[in-house]
Copies of this chain bind each other. A is one copy, B any other.
Amino acid sequence: MPELIRIPDGELEPLLSRVLTARGTPADRADLTARIVADNQREGVHSHGLNRFPALVRGIAAGHVDPRADPARVAGTAALEQWDGALGLGPWNATQAMHRALTLAGQHGIGAVGLRRTNHWLRAGTYALQAAAAGRIGICWTNTMPLMPPWGGCTPRLGNNPLAIALPSSGEPLLVDLALSQFSNGRLEVLRRRAETLPVVGGLDAAGQPSRDPGAILASRRPLPIGHWKGSALAVALDALAAVISGGQSTHEIGRQATEQGVSQVFLALQPGHGAAAMVGAILDDLRASPPADPAAPVRAPGDARRARREECTRLGVPVDAAIWAEISTL
């Protein structure tokens, strides 16, 4: 089981930013990326926080990610634009793209940006929350390399295509952020190391039988999409939308490369109508008031855990995997 240590909150971002600038990343995008990595870690999304940072740095070193590139608009019709990410830093490109979608939504009520030739954006929720922080609705998704077999198939062919939706609320924004596999590979690896069984079926084993053994699913490369045939179809649709709206690569094209590079993403922003935040707040309150299956475990609304985690980081420091921290400290 990974050993967690606590790093004082103020130390995290300067260190990450220094690692990136030492690899030739201009200060503005190094600071932004460091903030996004630290925020993901603070909100408990370790798989897309520090755990992924070494891979990002290796991507820069290997030339798969150009830390100096800037995304550029290549086409557009009023509220819908296509941007080229020039194989730059995923978090930088995605932040610019959502910023542009927000500007378009300010002008047209709704704005959409398709971003092609970009790289891993870390966590989908970051950019949906960017919209909510600006008082708007944010929806975004990305395609990925092939990670799951389609329904009826037995080899990876579909991306898990993470999707995030955020709405301003009377309290914390409502954030829903999900990959279309029931469990991410990162999560399966953590649970395999701990010798834990999955809480629900997460894939098929090598014999094609439903399995709750993370090791068996990693070995078979047959993780299940959420909802079986339903998530399989939804993954196809999100990939097609990302490729068509951005004019970029789809999962089957990304899969022909040696590494995941040049993915396609979509960013939607909408102006919410009058009273929207109160409406969302009432929906979340109704959810929290739902009779729980276990009287000791009240039903939580999306976002409830996030706030508590952030507050704990400010008070106690940010929890970090000791081995990952040791690796980052040598980068």
Contacts and interface: CB of A to CB of B under 8 A. Distances in A.
Contacts of A90: none
Contacts of A240: 167, 174, 279-280, 283
Nearest to A233: B176
A67 interface: no
Contacts of A282: 250, 252
A201 B226 CA distance: 12
A167 B270 contact: no
A79 B111 CA distance: 8
A230 interface: yes
B279 A243 contact: yes
A273 B252 contact: no
A186 interface: no
Query: Oligomeric state, in number of copies?
Result: 2
Given A78-B107, A233-B178, A283-B250, A272 B244 contact: yes
B243 A155 contact: no
A307 interface: no
A234 interface: yes
Interface string A176-194: 1010101000000000000
A241 B164 CA distance: 12
B237 A167 contact: yes
A233 B293 contact: no
Given A226-B226, A233-B302, A279-B244, A286 B77 contact: no
B228 A182 contact: yes
Of the candidates A137, A279, A294, A297, the one having the most CB atoms from chain B within 10 angstroms of its own CB is: A279
A272 B294 CA distance: 47
A18 interface: no
A155 to B, nearest CB: 5
Interface string A78-103: 11111000000000000000000000
Of the candidates A82, A111, A283, the one having the most CB atoms from chain B within 10 angstroms of its own CB is: A283
A258 to B, nearest CB: 18
A157 B231 CA distance: 22
A195 interface: no
20 contacts: A75-B273, A78-B108, A80-B271, A110-B110, A152-B294, A153-B292, A157-B286, A167-B237, A174-B236, A178-B233, A226-B227, A237-B302, A239-B283, A243-B283, A244-B272, A244-B273, A250-B282, A250-B283, A251-B283, A252-B283
